[in-house]
Amino acid sequence: MSGFKVRTDLALEARENVEEGAEELRGVTVEETYDEESEVKVTRVVIESKNSAKLLGKPIGTYITLEAPAMAQPDEEYHKEISDELAKQLKNIIPGTEDEISVMVVGLGNRDVTADALGPNVVDNLTITRHMVKEFGKAAYGKNRIHMISGLIPGVMAKTGMESAEIIKGVVEKTRPDVVVVVDALAARSTKRLNRTIQVTNTGIHPGSGVGNHRNSITKESLGVPVIAIGVPTVVDAATIVNDAMEKALKNLPVETAKLQEELHGGMGELYNMYVTGKDVDYEIKQISHIICDALNRALEL
């Protein structure tokens, strides 16, 4: 149903949102693999045509989603399996990793809001090499080949007065990395994907996405270098939660949907600046930050 606009940062969910009849959407290819042992499901959605991009509300590009039910649970060996898979996917989608490149990893979000601190957490714990290589050469690491890794935590607009995109662009122009990797907390469509899903895409970050609602693009077009985005849904918009619950409840009741939507819409104004998150959000964000940090460290090793 729904004429109600629901926001999701996940291509997976965008596709689910599209009406049922359209299941074989043209210009979109979907591949799924599932590892029974690790219970990790990898979905690869490629949006190939302008038309399908418009339909899904997502730009042309590749979207890889890792889903694992116990992603945020305290099991180090299991985390290792997920981060192995993620490292493999990252090595693949980050252009140039077989040669020596320089990569700037950017942690978006607000480090003082637990659900939004994913990006800063990842960058805080990443292995950074650029300054050592520049000063002492590869010898500093006893290696012949090494990527130059730098890290940036731009902060959020309410605290900097600047768009993250402005800050990143300035630093990219000054330090000239070959690739930018952006890590961000996302808004999901439903609570069932919270802290259980990692999305990797080569389309960068677009206006209105992320917990903090970035307004400017962080993309190849805007920065001049490829931008890989790693995102984890950590919150659901409060308005979405209400809408979802309502839809479920009304399925079997004799209410005219359009009217209800209208009424709802009127009463939910105050919810548009609110979000829903789980009660263990601190623990779960810590676990997933660790998985992503680990995967990035290994994907960026030569």
List the interface residues with its own copies, window 162-201 (CB under 8 A): 162-163, 166-167, 169-175, 191-192
Q: Is 74 in the site for its own copies (CB under 8 A)?
A: yes
Q: Is 17 in the site for its own copies (CB under 8 A)?
A: no
Rounded to 5 degrees, φ, ψ at 301 are: -95, 145
One residue of 3, 21, 142, 267 binding its own copies per CB under 8 A? 267
Which is nearer to its own copies, 25 or 238 (by Cβ)? Answer: 238
The 8-class DSSP code of residue 233 comes to: E
Cα separation, 174 vs 1, in Å, equals: 49
One residue of 47, 86, 179, 281 binding its own copies per CB under 8 A? 281
| Smallest distance from its own copies to CB 53, Å | 28
| Smallest distance from its own copies to CB 155, Å | 6
Q: Which residues contact 236 (CB under 8 A, 6 or more apart)?
A: 187, 188, 189, 190, 191, 194, 275, 276, 277
One residue of 31, 32, 35, 112 binding its own copies per CB under 8 A? 112
One residue of 60, 283, 301, 302 binding its own copies per CB under 8 A? 283
Cα separation, 172 vs 223, in Å, equals: 7
Q: Is 33 in the site for its own copies (CB under 8 A)?
A: no
One residue of 18, 113, 225, 302 binding its own copies per CB under 8 A? 113
Q: Is 279 in the site for its own copies (CB under 8 A)?
A: yes
| Smallest distance from its own copies to CB 14, Å | 21
Secondary structure (DSSP) of 14-34: HHHHS-GGG-S-TTEEEEEEE
Stretch that binds its own copies, among 19-27, 45-53, 149-157, 219-227 (CB under 8 A): 149-157
Stretch that binds its own copies, among 48-56, 124-132, 199-207, 226-234 (CB under 8 A): 124-132
Q: Is 20 in the site for its own copies (CB under 8 A)?
A: no
Q: Is 278 in the site for its own copies (CB under 8 A)?
A: yes
Q: Is 22 in the site for its own copies (CB under 8 A)?
A: no
CA within 13 Å, CB half, 98: 2
Q: Which residues contact 255 (CB under 8 A, 6 or more apart)?
A: none
288: closest CA among 205, 213, 209, 193?
A: 193
Rounded to 5 degrees, what angle do the CA atoms 282, 156, 267 make? 75
Q: Is 238 in the site for its own copies (CB under 8 A)?
A: yes
One residue of 26, 159, 224, 258 binding its own copies per CB under 8 A? 159
How far does Cα 242 stand from its chain's mean position?
23
| Smallest distance from its own copies to CB 19, Å | 21
